[in-house]
Structure 1
Amino acid sequence: MTKKDILTPIGITVGFMMIIFAISTSGGVGEVVIFLDVPSIFIVLGGVIGSLLINFKLEQIKLTGRVLKESFVKTEDRLPEMIELFIRLSERARREGILALENELDEVEDPFIKKGIMLAVDGIEPEVITDIMDAEITAMEERHYKGRTIIEKAGEYAPAWGMIGTLVGLVLMLNQLSDPATLGPAMAIALITTLYGTVLANLVFIPMASKLEAKTEEEVFLKQIIIEGIIGVQSGQNPRILEEKLSAFISHTDKRKYEEMKEKEEEAARSGFVEDRVNEA
């Protein structure tokens, strides 16, 4: 399950607001207008887009929007629910046999877990299951890397195009040396493109790429835990031992959440048991 990650837009907004605040407190609110230059924006953004078009295939460029969107969403932590699922699968496999897990597939939403259960039900060797699922993790990492590379390259190109814009401005400035009054404003405009490129790189593109990399690492970690759970269920591991093994991967906060979830389920089970006894009486 995913929901909006408000930290990304908040971080970008805070960064731009601090720059505007620094400008306005140093030279007044009216000075902010000086830093708005349309030609400089076109040089930096146009140059970055042109470089990306040269560097990447069209299929990869089309993924840019989806990749950027991933920076603004976050996946809820599913570890406690996932551990509970594996405990239930383990209990049923020990009680009814591994083939009984086929009936659980409709209730499993995660395709990676579902694939692992299907392999286990088919009687595939644990080593082969691990190899197959590790290969899928590797493929996922490669897909994420290709998408993330576009953002990383944009972060590399933006400062360079900012410098190019500055050089263009300096050439135009030197061409007007006959009028000394225009040198100051021309120099200021020439430097704005460097500012644009540096801000875009260090406030937008590079932080987004780093967040995407962190999300990939989290997903890989989660899938490794899933593999451990699948192998534990297939090997007929004691549910309590499997629970302790998988719980070692989660943080103290998640452990508390998992324990609270178990207490609620046990309380609901006790309530149902008492209600059944009362109805029988």
Structure 2
Amino acid sequence: GARSLLRQAHHYAMAACCVALPVTPPAPTCRRIAEGFLCPIKKELPLDPVIAEDGFMYERGSIEMWLQHRSTSPITNLPIGERLLPALQCRSAIEELVRSGLVDDLADSWIERIRHEATVAEIRRRAEAGEVDAMLKLGAWHHTGQMGLPMSHAEGFRWCRRAAELGSLYAYASAGLCLVGGRGVDADVPQGLSLISAAAVGGLEFASNWLGEWFLAGQYGLPKDPSRAAYWFAKVVDGAAHSLDGAACPRVRGHRERAAERLSLLSAICTPAGPEEALPECIKGEAGGTHWVGRA
């Protein structure tokens, strides 16, 4: 209850005071203090420490996720509420411990996460200012849960869409893939194909490769059509399609080799379709996806 919460908060505050002394405690003492600050769930020094109603300190994100699925303490297994008390003194104490250099083995992940926070903050600032590459990075990190960000396909799609509104071919393809698969947004296959086709027509290598694979297999409502598949594979092989240098998609490697293998097999049974014929029916006669990105 409240008494337990306050008692444990007092305990952590006393540890914080020890670290704040003018004379740095000896290394064994620093280590014992640092171990007392470890989040019981993540087993790491918390970046955003909070004290839960069981009186123990946790990384905010870890205990919040725990409490989404359980109503008991990770330590005592007794029922607890959702109140969390920010442990501001503990955060300062942890930072002092890290700066002391006496708990390096416990501080490595903390330091890395601090660097990630700084990087994400800078990229977010640039994305908010309208920089497309920053939007794409932020979207990719949200999709994968990298750089300490919580995995959120909805947030990833939001940033891809913002970049698409600024005309990024990569963002067309990324947002289109989300729409086709219903990842972070309600599935809308025609809209997704429209955006991916716009990227492919614009010369984006992996978008052309996707269309080739999907026409070959008859996926996402597209007919099995070797001639249309051959057209898109040929764009990749001939170099009419290109890859991007941005860090947002490392998977572009190998597309040309796979496309060349597919095209070699298809050339024995068909002739590649023409540019207009190769487009998905749902977008023929449209501006290749650009009609979508300006919508609310």
**Same fold by TM (over 0.5)?**
no
Larger radius of gyration: 1
Larger helix share, 1 or 2: 1
TM-score between both structures, scaled by the size of structure 1: 0.24
Higher RCO by CA contacts (8 Å cutoff, separation 6 or greater): 1
TM-score between both structures, scaled by the size of structure 2: 0.23
